[in-house]
Amino acid sequence: MKNAYQHVWWFIKQEYKKYIVVGIVLVMLSIMLAIPAKILGVAIDEIVASTLTPIRLVVLALGLFLFPLARYLLNIFYHYNINQLGHKLSFNLRENYINHLFELDAAVYEKYTKGDLISRATNDLQNLTALATNVLQTVVFNFGVLITAIVMMVMINPLLTLASIIIMPFSIFWLNKKRAKKREYYKIHHEVYGDMTEKVLESIEGVKAVRAYGQEENDFQKTKVAIDKDIESWWKILKFESIYGPLFELVYAFCYFVGIAFGSYMVITSQITPGELVTFLIYVGMLYGPLIALSNVLNTVNNIIISDQRYFEIMDMVPSVKDHEEAKEVFDFKSIEFKNVSFQYPFDSAPVIKNITFTINKGETIGIVGPTGAGKSTLIRQLLREFNITSGTIEVDGVNINDLKIEGMHDLVGYVPQDHILFRRSVDDNILIGKPNATIQEVNTAIMLADFKKDLKELPDGSETMVAELGGSLSGGQRQRLSIARALVKNPKILILDDSLSAVDAMTEANIIASLKEARSEETNIIVAHRFSAVAKADKIIVLQNGTITDVGTHTKLLSYDNWYKMQYLKQIKGDTYE
Ligand code: ADP
CATH number at residue 81: 1.20.1560.10
Say yes or no: 145 and 202 in one domain. Answer: yes
Give the pLDDT confidence score for residue 1 in this predicted structure.
Answer: 65
Give the pLDDT confidence score for residue 144 in this predicted structure.
Answer: 95
Binned at pLDDT 50, 70 and 90, residue 469 comes out as low
Say yes or no: 383 and 444 in one domain. Answer: yes
Binned at pLDDT 50, 70 and 90, residue 394 comes out as very high
Q: How far is CA 211 from CA 47, 54, 183, 420, in A?
A: 78, 79, 40, 21
Residues with CB under 6 A from ligand 1: 110, 345, 348, 352, 370, 372-378
Cα 372 to ligand 1 centroid, rounded to whole Å: 9
Q: CA angle at residue 468 from 464 to 474, to 5 degrees?
A: 75
Q: Rounded to whole angstroms, how far apart are CA atoms 524 and 439?
A: 22
Smallest CA separation from ligand 1 atom 24, residue:
345
Please say which residue of 250, 283, 315 terminates a domain. Answer: 315
Count of structural domains within the chain: 2
Residue-number span of the structural domain to which 514 is assigned: 335-574
pLDDT for 182 beyond 80: no
Say yes or no: 274 and 138 in one domain. Answer: yes
Question: Which residue type sits at 387?
Answer: F
Strands 494-498 and 524-528: parallel
- Please name the residues in contact with 446: beta carbons below 8 A apart, sequence gap of 6 or more: 431, 434, 438, 485, 486, 488, 489
Give the pLDDT confidence score for residue 212 in this predicted structure.
Answer: 78
CATH code (residue 518): 3.40.50.300
Say yes or no: 396 and 260 in one domain. Answer: no
pLDDT for 200 beyond 90: no
Q: What is the largest CA-CA distance in the chain?
A: 122
Binned at pLDDT 50, 70 and 90, residue 17 comes out as very high
Smallest CA separation from ligand 1 atom 22, residue:
345
Say yes or no: 255 and 389 in one domain. Answer: no
Smallest CA separation from ligand 1 atom 14, residue:
373
Give the pLDDT confidence score for residue 462 in this predicted structure.
Answer: 81
Cα 345 to ligand 1 centroid, rounded to whole Å: 8
CB 199 within 8 A of CB 226: yes
Cα 35 to ligand 1 centroid, rounded to whole Å: 71
Binned at pLDDT 50, 70 and 90, residue 451 comes out as confident
For 385: left if phi > 0, alpha if psi spans -120 to 50, otherwise beta; the answer is left
Cα 106 to ligand 1 centroid, rounded to whole Å: 13
Percentage of the chain beyond pLDDT 70 is: 98
Our mutation pick for probing the ligand 1 site, out of 112, 353, 354, 377, counting the most ligand atoms within 8 A of Cβ, is 377
Q: Model confidence over 251-288: pLDDT tens digits? A: 888 999 999 999 999 999 999 999 999 999 999 999 98
Smallest CA separation from ligand 1 atom 27, residue:
345
pLDDT for 472 beyond 70: no
Cα 14 to ligand 1 centroid, rounded to whole Å: 47
Average pLDDT over residues 464-482: 77
Cα 354 to ligand 1 centroid, rounded to whole Å: 13
Please say which residue of 285, 315, 345 terminates a domain. Answer: 315
pLDDT for 181 beyond 80: no
Average pLDDT over residues 429-445: 90
CB 448 within 8 A of CB 416: no
Binned at pLDDT 50, 70 and 90, residue 75 comes out as very high
Smallest CA separation from ligand 1 atom 12, residue:
352
